[in-house]
Amino acid sequence: MTARRDLTPSLIVVRIQPEQGSVPPFVPGQFINLGLPAPADEPGPLAARRSNRVRLTRRAYSIASSPRNADHLELLVALVQDGKLTPRLWPLDVGSRLWMDNEAKGSFTLNDVPEGADILAVASGTGIAPFMSMLRCHAGTGRWRTFILMHSVRTAAELAYRDELENMVHGGDVVYLPTLTREPADSPWTGRRGRVQLMLADRDALNIVPSSLHILLCVNPTMIEDVTSIVQGWGTVHTERYW
Ligand SMILES: Cc1cc2nc3c(=O)[nH]c(=O)nc-3n(C[C@H](O)[C@H](O)[C@H](O)COP(=O)(O)OP(=O)(O)OC[C@H]3O[C@@H](n4cnc5c(N)ncnc54)[C@H](O)[C@@H]3O)c2cc1C
Ligand SMILES: NC(=O)c1ccc[n+]([C@@H]2O[C@H](COP(=O)([O-])OP(=O)(O)OC[C@H]3O[C@@H](n4cnc5c(N)ncnc54)[C@H](OP(=O)(O)O)[C@@H]3O)[C@@H](O)[C@H]2O)c1
């Protein structure tokens, strides 16, 4: 791990770098598997436990950085209190060693989205990570006509990348629509509140061209289900679930 930024006690941005060489090739939207040696008392396949091979607790993480940065991968990671891996990642600091797969995987990419299309990306929580990679790589290049990003989180502190995205909108091809669902009423936040369904209720305000629209949804399964039913007939839907 080469960098770590704590956004809240349960949300971090980390950078990881292979000890030798550059990061595995990837396209925006793909994920990488990370791991730590499994604790000796963690159940696993009998054959694996009997062999001398080091067993790993491995999990997938969407890559938030652009493939143009070949020296590191950036990840946005939420702590799952009773999870197997994240409570063990949390105490790690810069310089700690992790296992990282040597290939990126996944098909939640722009491969099936034609050049110049409109994109409506809806992210909940850490589901913004694959969209950051797409935006960091392609914003301002003509890859899409408009990329509308809706990001729903509970509180303002969880709006990872807010400053960067607010700068990106000046390019003219990115629209950033953050919304908070559990921000205290007396906080300084003056922006949108409530679930993404509120924004989706006014389709005309989004100024999209339905014939070329691709809708990308990541990550909360009930959000994906609910939004999919709203956007029926709006365009082609692509989804990524973490759980
Ligand atoms: C393709 C893919 C990409 C992923 N990308 C990311 C990512 O970019 N960032 C990230 O934090 N996680 C991501 N995950 C989830 C990640 O792989 C782990 O499941 C997560 O870190 C929890 O691991 P754990 O061992 O601590 O908990 P587990 O023992 O694996 O517990 C999993 C449970 O935790 C909950 N959970 C899992 N991930 C999250 C999350 N991000 N936010 C809230 N609740 C969650 C779900 O209820 C799930 O059933 C991704 C998963 C997949 C399949
Ligand atoms: N983030 C935290 O501060 C926090 C604290 C304690 C525990 N946890 C646990 O961590 C897990 C993940 O929390 P998270 O906040 O990262 O992710 P999350 O529960 O997926 O919430 C992220 C955002 O998605 C919204 N959302 C959830 N379901 C939706 C739906 N069906 N339609 C539209 N929007 C929807 C949430 O709104 P709503 O707020 O309206 O649900 C929130 O704004 C949860 O299991 C939670 O219990 C998180």
Does the beta carbon of 152 sit less than 6 angstroms from any atom of ligand 1?
A: no
Ligand 1 within 6 A of CB of 239: no
Write the residue with the smallest CA distance to atom 18 of ligand 2. Answer: 125
76 lines ligand 2 (CB under 6 A): no
| Nearest-atom index, ligand 1, CA of 87 | 26
195 lines ligand 1 (CB under 6 A): no
Ligand 2 centroid to Cα of residue 52, in Å, is 40
With a 6 A CB cut-off, is 226 part of the ligand 2 pocket? yes
For the stretch 109-153, pLDDT in tens is 999 999 999 999 999 999 999 999 999 999 999 999 999 999 999
- Which residues are registered as beta bridge partners of 193? 180
Q: Which domains does the chain have, with CATH numbers?
A: 3-100 (2.40.30.10), 117-241 (3.40.50.80)
Closest ligand 2 atom to Cα of 80: 10
The tens digit of pLDDT for each residue in 7-57 reads: 999 999 999 999 988 899 999 999 999 999 998 766 666 555 566 677 999
Strands (E), the chain: 3-8, 11-16, 31-37, 56-62, 73-78, 99-100, 117-124, 144-153, 174-180, 213-219, 236-241
Mean pLDDT, range 69-93, rounded to an integer = 97
pTM of the model: 0.94
Q: How far is CA 35 from CA 32, 203, 206, 233, in A?
A: 10, 42, 40, 40
Whole-number percent of the chain with pLDDT over 70: 95
pLDDT in tens, 179-221: 999 999 999 999 999 999 999 999 888 888 777 899 999 999 9
* CA angle (239, 240, 242) in 5-degree steps: 150
Q: Is the CB of 26 under 6 A from ligand 1?
A: no
Of the candidates 215, 230, 186, 238, the one whose C-alpha atom is nearest the C-alpha of residue 118 is 215
CA of 88 to the centre of ligand 1 (A): 13
Query: Strand order in 73-78's β-sheet?
Result: 3-8, 11-16, 73-78
Own/partner pairs, 4-10, CB within 8 angstroms, 24+ separation: 4/92, 4/93, 4/94, 7/157, 7/158, 7/160, 8/155, 8/157, 8/158, 9/79, 10/78, 10/79, 10/81
CA of 25 to the centre of ligand 2 (A): 31
pLDDT value at residue 144: 97
